[in-house]
A and B are shown apart, each in its own frame.
Chain A
Amino acid sequence: MDCSESLTMQATSRRALLLGGASFAAWAYLPKFARAADGRDPRFVTIILRGALDGLATVAPIGDPDYAGLHGAIALKADGPNAAVMLDPFFGLHPAMPEFARMYRAKQAAVVHAVATSYRDRSHFDGQDVLESGFPGPGRVQSGWLNRALEALPKGERVTSALAVGPTTPLVLRGTAPTVGWAPTALPQAADDTAMRLLDLYQHRDPTLASALTQGLQLEKQAQGDEMKPKPGGGGVAAMRLVARGAAKLMAADDGPRIGALAFDGWDTHANEGGPVGRLAQLLGGLDGALAEFQSGLGARWRDTVIVVATEFGRTARINGTEGTDHGTGTIALLAGGAVNGGRMITDWPGLKVANLYQARDLAPTTDLRAVIKGVLHDQFGLGERVLAETVFPDSAPAKPMKGLVV
């Protein structure tokens, strides 16, 4: 790849985030069918886990004879203290995720295992660009798949409330469809008159800044009067819950956004990843709390909600020399929400024998993540197969939308 291209991607794909590595952004419009006659008012949220989640540590193939040897000291166990929660006789869920386990039992959550994007190298930044852009390879960072999906949806009224976001939009939601976001701060506001004068100056001198300021001012208005103001710079785990809570509150409102994206940083567990307790366990607890916040915050709207949790790639099947895992390939995606056809492990399990590992090193991917997301977008919003294969995920026709993911 050309060197200068890769630089652009690095510079734009990993944005500095206010909330200790957690952010939320959403589509600025309601889909037009939001108040359709059947009372169904679908919500969709994607949560991007940046840094590469260890899928084998989160949903462990405890029944696979090679798992315990590969994952060594940090492998989950089916019994004993801090045992995994068995989702079926083969797979156990990390004990730090009781809320997800509960949702799974209630058939409102599902796991897709041995999944990957089309990216097969091991650079975080390229991997995230592929995951979020939806293009088959790195190098395309102008727009994200969720933004292009929005463009295919009928546009209704503008959303009128907003909460909690970092000062930047994650790539997955970047593009021409307008998005909203908001930074949690109560810095004294500049006077409206000053803002208007500045806007006037920008309109004459600097159209890019004029557009940015216009949007920034709208967001601030929408967020005013909100009593919950998360404190910037808090720890990552607390930030996950706070951002999710803000996002859920916003998305529960009748005039709030229906489609949003969150990004959580910090999953790059090279050393001392920990097993049932430890570093990854803490992060998973934060993610679990975030999912619970969505359920409680969305209230009656949880029924119509699908949350897709995805990461850029997985980690090595065998732990490295420092009780962590290095960059790998196959991993998991999680689905949660009242609209999920859940209580299921969705996987074509490749096995963990060395010969079955990708490059004798990583969990081999057997499911294309794009098929999962396309299936959800098709079922939730009625997006057609063609627009999904050509526009939302360009050149993805062979990865057909997975059927039956949504109730």
Chain B
Amino acid sequence: MPSQQELDFQISPLVQESLVHNTRTLHNLQSLTASLFGIGAGILGLESYSGFLFYLVFSLVTTLLFYGLRIAPAGVSSSSSPSSSSSSTSNKGGAVLARYFRSGWEFWTAGLSNGLAGFILTWTLFYGLVRA
């Protein structure tokens, strides 16, 4: 007897290519911006906890901007078109996010671990360049 999740996948299958493409787009953006935040933190001369707090705040801002500028407009435009019928009735934030990503938790928190190494690299580099 297949589980409920397997049945769900059989009824509404997912496109692996699109899933990989979306995750890669987000991952690229986050690693690029993380090195940028490292530059900023180095210029500002932040140290220890304040630097990590800077990274935390700005990566959340990145994800928020990505949600607000790329995901939410797509959800609005698709629900206004007449062809989409089923998901437009409960067009909450989670439903829009579920069009492009499998889990919301992963979307909101993956950025923190994706770019941390790049952030620390450029942070220490620019801190050293500026302070030396």
A binds B: no
- Chain A residues near B (Cβ < 8 Å): none
- Chain B residues near A (Cβ < 8 Å): none
